[in-house]
Structure formats: structure tokens, C-alpha cells
Amino acid sequence: MSNKDIIFANQITEYTDNETERQQQFMVKAHEYLIALEKELSRKPTACVITFGCQMNARDSEKLTGILKEIGYEITENEDSDFVIYNTCTVRDNADQRVFGRLGLVSSYKKKKPWMKIALCGCMMQEQVSIEKIKKSYRFVDLIFGTFNLFKFAELLCTMYDSDRMIIDIWRESNKIVEDLPVARKYSFKSGLNIMFGCNNFCSYCIVPYVRGREKSRLPKDIIREAEKLAADGVKEIMLLGQNVNSYGIGLAEEDRISFAQLITEVCKVDGIERVRFMSSHPKDLSDELIEVIRDNPKIARHIHLALQSGSNRILQRMNRHYTKEDFLLLVDKIRTQIPDVAITTDIIVGFPGETEEDVDQTIDVVKKAAFENAFTFIYSKRTGTPAAGFEDQVPEEEVKKNFNKLLEVVQETAHAQSGKFEGTNQRVLVEEVNEHDNLLVTGRMSNNTLVHFPGDASLIGKFVNVHLDKCHGFYYTGKLEEE
């Protein structure tokens, strides 16, 4: 594919001070295209958004879906739709391969429907190697954009509709935040709320700072205003989102800057919001102030996700994590002492360059002492452009798998031992859905993020109820509804 087959949209326009109003004008224009397509097809055009990756990607997909609904698409979960968007992740290589696999599938649909459009966005699109592969091997893709210019989606749609060439719009950085655009939430009663974007930590294995940019925080007043709007729309639970929420305040003027602990306190004051969660949290930045705020405020969920990554000080240093094994365990002890009913979950990487069996044993020692309620274990994935990708002492695959299985066994043992401690108690549960395996049951979530299945019907969805936990089944409970 030559450059004459591509429109580089970032050469057309970037950003204006009244960007929200400007994008709304493009939505009107895009709606006119949808009216014409509907007449041509004799039905309403359909669109499907497929999301890979983290909660922030899920929130971005809600924005994409909101704009698609606004301009006239019927939203489906079927990739044989008239417009398919893949919102990509690139934290691990298997996420990239899944996207390429889906593109192979959807290409067969497009051959039968020449009007079909296919778009790619998200973190994977911020990597030049991925763009080059798509240009070479997936020439049927119509639109590519990245993480910094998602707010331009309506404008890019109009460019795509007006062209038969591939549209590419990738920004390498931006300090602009545009949030006041349509959003279609997956759940009516709970929602993510972005409080900051980007990451300044530069862990040696991680691609996120390169694809999401430097840390920038939203104004507290804008966050509170959005929380109030969500509450007015029936939202009862909010999850505050950021790559590292503990460093909230970066980039704000001194008169606007508050700590994350102060911000979450203000969000809890919003009438109608009954529970507040947050994700993600870096151990080096979790303050005593935040621990005390969680302890003293029953609205804040009793769940802290605290990524360990490794229990070996030597590996932690090579990872550029800025804490030691001893620091981490001291923090965990402080949290559990102050908040006895908290659930602490974590992420662990196995097979980081240079890791030995002794290093894995150090990680296992932390798992046993920290007694995590759950740990998400991952095999190290080399990401081009990160320092660790250039380390020469990559660990052989056979050794990685052996150490991974060894760690996983301990993780499951300690998590199982922790999970049953609420058996026989009454817990406040937010009902999320009718159980997917048994429609006589509903599924809800405790404050500490544990799932609970109990008899009920769809009328309970979105409500907080008291549930007696009869039995623990590893990572979930079964129980029965208690009278209020």
C-alpha cells in the first residue's frame, strides 16, 4: 500500500478550544451519512465495538459506542455488522495476536458487504510496527486512530465516509482532555470515571507510558461534575480510573491541585453515589492519607489492587519499580492493620529477563506473607521499545513455564485460604445481572469485589441488598437474600 492510498488525517486538523461543540457538528454530518445508508440497506445500519485490555479501554469503548448511537447506528455484539471497531491493547503480545486473528475473520465478512467499514484504535495503534503491518497485510481496514485523539471519532468517521482510502490519524502526544461527548454505558447503575491519563513510572517492561503518554490529571471540579451527572442518571457505584490514581494531581495548577485521597473523599460526598472504587494503584505512591480515608469512609470499596510484579529486590530494581520487597510487605501490613476487612489483589510477572528460580522463590515468599485474595499471574511479554526488550538475559521458555506453574500453585492456595473468611456473615452486595448459568439466580459483587450468587430475579439488578453468605466456593460465594 502506497501513501497515495492513505489519508493521514492528523495533517488535516488537530484541536480547538471549543472541541466538544466542533465534534458535535461532525456528529450531525455523520448522521446524514447514516440516513443515506439506511435507505440503501432498507434497515438501520449496525455497529459493533470489540474491546481488549483494561478498564480504561472499556471506558473508551463506551465513548465510541455513545457516538455511534448518537449518529444513528444500532449497536450489536455481532462482528458481521456494517461497522466493526477493535479497541486494542498492547500490554502483552497475545493481545496483539488476538486482534490480528479477529481481522482475519472480519475480512471474510467485508468481502460479502462492500459497504462494511472496519476501524482500529487504542494502545496497539500507537506502535509504528503495528501500523506498518496493518498497511501491508490488512489493507481492507478503513480507519486507524490512537489513544490521544479518541475525541475526534465523529470527525474521523466523516473523513472515512468521504473516502475510499485508509484513514490514519495517530498523535504521538497530547496534553488535551475532551470528555463532554456522548457515552453509552454498559451498566445503568455503575460507571467508570476517568480522573487522569498516562503514566510517568516507566517500568522497564511496560509499554503504557509510550502509548498513553505522560501523566495528566483532570480538574477536580470536572470530575465532581461528571460524578453528579452520573448519579443523576441512576449510577450508584463509580470506579475512578487512571494508570496510577495515587499520583493524581500531576499537571494541575497549584490552586487546583488536591491529593487522590482528597479527591475520592469529595466524590463520596456526591448524593446518590453509594460505593466508590479505584484502579490502578502503584505501591510506591499509596499514601497513609489514602489508607486512613478508606478506613474511615464506608462508601469506599474494601478492595485495593496493588501490583507486586516481583518479590525479588534484584528484579524489582531491574523493573524500575522504586520499592523493595520489604517496602511492599510493610505497606500490606499497614493496610491490613488499618482496614481489616480489605481484599488486596495483585499482578505478578514471571520470566522477566534475568529471573532465576531463587527470584521466583522470593516472589512466592511475598505471596505467602501478603496473603493476597487473588493474584493475576502473567508470563513476561517482550514489548518492542521498552528497555527490558533489549536485555540479553531473556529466560528460556521451558524455565518460565516451570516457575509460572510453581508460583500459580501457591497463589491459588493462599487465595483460597483467604476467600472463605466471610462465610456465615451478612454482606452488602450490588446486584449486577441474572446469573448466566442459572436464571433463577442473580450475581452481585461485595465491597471487596468478591462475586456472590443467590436466588433472585431481574428486578434486583442495580440495587444494593443484604446477602447471607452460606458457602465459599473458592473465588465466589453462594448465599440467600436477607430482609432489610
Q: With cut-offs at 50, 70 and 90, classify the pLDDT of residue 91.
A: confident
Query: Per the structure block, which three cell numbers stand in for 148?
Result: 490521544
Q: What is the mean pLDDT of residues 386-394?
A: 94
pLDDT at 108 over 90: yes
pLDDT at 13 over 80: no
Q: What is the mean pLDDT of residues 52-74?
A: 95
Model's pTM, two decimal places? 0.90
Query: Per the structure block, which three cell numbers stand in for 429?
Result: 452486595
Task: Provide the pLDDT for residue 149.
Answer: 93
Q: Phi, psi (5° rounding) for residue 212?
A: -110, -10
Cis? peptide before 281, omega within 30° of 0: no
What are the chain's domains? 3-169 (3.40.50.12160), 188-301 (3.30.750.210), 304-420 (3.30.750.200), 423-481 (2.40.50.140)
- Give Cα 64 distance to the centre of its chain: 15
pLDDT at 176 over 90: no
pLDDT at 139 over 70: yes
- Give Cα 290 distance to the centre of its chain: 22
Please name the residue that has the C-alpha cell 531463587.
Answer: 358
Residue among 83, 96, 105 at smallest CA distance from 52? 96
Q: What angle do helix axes 19-41 and 153-161 make, rounded to 10 degrees?
A: 40
Task: Provide the pLDDT for residue 109.
Answer: 94
**β-bridge pairing 464-472 and 426-434:** antiparallel
Task: Provide the pLDDT for residue 40.
Answer: 96
- The overall average pLDDT reported for the chain is 93
> How many other C-beta atoms lie within 10 A of the C-beta of residue 161?
18
In whole angstroms, what is the distance from residue 92 CA to residue 206 CA? Answer: 9
Q: Are 235 and 190 in contact (CB under 8 A)?
A: yes
Residues 317-363: pLDDT tens digits? 999 999 999 999 999 999 999 999 999 999 999 999 999 999 999 99
H helices present in 245-394, as ranges: 260-268, 288-296, 313-319, 325-338, 357-370
Secondary structure (DSSP) of 15-64:
--TTHHHHHHHHHHHHHHHHHHHHHHHTS--EEEEEE-SSHHHHHHHHHH
Angle at 440 between CA 437 and CA 443, to 5 degrees: 65
Residue among 449, 430, 434, 292 at smallest CA distance from 372? 449
Q: With cut-offs at 50, 70 and 90, classify the pLDDT of residue 420.
A: confident
Task: Provide the pLDDT for residue 174.
Answer: 83
Percent of the chain topping pLDDT 90:
87
In whole angstroms, what is the distance from residue 161 CA to residue 24 CA? Answer: 16
Three-state DSSP class for 5? helix
Three-state DSSP class for 406? helix
Q: With cut-offs at 50, 70 and 90, classify the pLDDT of residue 12.
A: very low
Residues 284-314: pLDDT tens digits? 999 999 999 999 999 999 999 999 999 999 9
pLDDT at 279 over 90: yes
Radius of gyration (Cα) for the chain, nearest Å? 23
In whole angstroms, what is the distance from residue 316 CA to residue 322 CA? Answer: 7
Task: Provide the pLDDT for residue 1.
Answer: 52
Q: What is the mean pLDDT of residues 390-416?
A: 95
Write the single-letter amino acid at 205.
Y
Query: Per the structure block, which three cell numbers stand in for 100?
Result: 490480528
In degrees to the nearest 10, what's the CA dihedral of 251, 254, 256, 261? Answer: 80
Q: What is the mean pLDDT of residues 360-371?
A: 97
Residue among 157, 158, 149, 122 at smallest CA distance from 10? 149
Strand partners, 464: 430
Residues 428-483: pLDDT tens digits? 999 999 999 999 999 999 999 999 999 999 999 999 999 999 999 988 999 999 97
pLDDT at 8 over 70: no
Residues 146-168: pLDDT tens digits? 999 999 999 999 999 999 899 99
Residue among 289, 241, 200, 272 at smallest CA distance from 462? 272
In whole angstroms, what is the distance from residue 149 CA to residue 156 CA? Answer: 10
Q: Is 297 left (phi over 0), alpha (psi -120 to 50) or beta?
A: beta
Please name the residue that has the C-alpha cell 471549543.
Answer: 18
| Structural element, H or E, at residue 9 | none
DSSP state at residue 300:
B
pLDDT at 21 over 70: yes
> How many other C-beta atoms lie within 10 A of the C-beta of residue 183?
23
pLDDT at 10 over 80: no
| Structural element, H or E, at residue 483 | none
